[in-house]
Structure 1
Amino acid sequence: MMKKLMFVVITFLTFLSISTIIKLPVQGASNVNNVQIVLHHRISEDGNFVEVNNDGKEHYYNDGMVDGANTTFSVYDLTTKYTDYLTHNRSPENLFQKIGVMSPTMIQKFIIDNKLHKSFNVTTNNAGISTFDVNGSDYKAYLIVQNNNDNSGTQSFAMPIAISFPFGNTNTGKPMSVIHIYTKATNLRRA
């Protein structure tokens, strides 16, 4: 009787161990490709753009820029256009540079012409920051575009931002799971 009980207990523990080992990768897999974007919207009141370092790391600037509070941005899936550049041996950096200098009218035309799908909208908090998650799988790309101004009467324009994955740490080359992005924005006028 004791041998049978011992056999049942050992079998149960073995089964429990195996099922736990099998479940662990499955549970972790759901978040493997999630990347958190921390969007910092900063505005130059004098109309001069301040050079920003968008290397994905958090930076502390003391440059007189103002936090762009309560500003809404749209996040578009740019993957198809990005992979089209890759498959035709064109530099995605050229695409991103072209996008980065487009006016609000030009970027809207680009979105329509390329049939980009809007993934979601985000709004900055009082500190000018919005945090959101995206799928950071290899060859995914996103376009971040300002689509309204804050509620303080400020008319600002943030240059469009394109980002692709994997996004590597400049020191280690390893993919980053939290990426800080800084807008390049200026006031157009004060109401």
Structure 2
Amino acid sequence: MTAGLKLYTFAKSGHAHRAVLFASLLGLKVERIEVDLTAGAQKAPEHLRLHPFGQVPVLRDGDQTIWDSNAVLVHLAGKFDPAGTWLPKGKEAIVQAWLSVASGALTDGPCDARRVTVFGAELDHERACGIAAGLFEVLDARLSGRAFLIADAPTIADVALYTYTAHAPEGGISLDPYPDIRAWLVRMEALPGFVAMPASKAGLLA
């Protein structure tokens, strides 16, 4: 276990899985602390002291507390990837652009669609599916002729986009029309240290 690293997660949260996946890809050993979102543990006072919005993941690195899944990726890349493979110098802006997509269309589309079918969230499933379709058209085109989103090797942008894309079918969104996305998912899953998020059965509260 890497000294001082604690990661507060929920096993079937795609946002939390980003952090879990990236820590594993970096070869880091972290202490994982499960926060039961189905029981509302993320809104308990002790968790709100770690994350003011009551969400996961949260990374504790010594005396530092980093919340927001993309912020965790940036922190881990900056500290534990001195070669700069995952956040390449000179490409920070385009990485950030795709991190913004992960916080925007990916969340409003595939993530929200899955929240409806898996967790019973009261959201507009049709709207989420429409957003997902628009996102995946762009993402599939971006990956045409490319191994990864930005460079020949994966970056934290690929990590941020991976989980909710891979689990889009759980939200009722087929990936069949997107061959380049499907090929990219296979490449991501072949990376040394890859760990999958547990599958959820649509229609049941995970």
Q: Which has the higher contact order (CA 8 A, sep 6+)?
A: 1
If you compute each CA radius of gyration, which structure gives the higher value, 1 or 2?
1
- Give the TM-score normalised by the residue count of structure 1: 0.26
Which structure shows the bigger proportion of residues in strand conformation?
1
- Give the TM-score normalised by the residue count of structure 2: 0.25
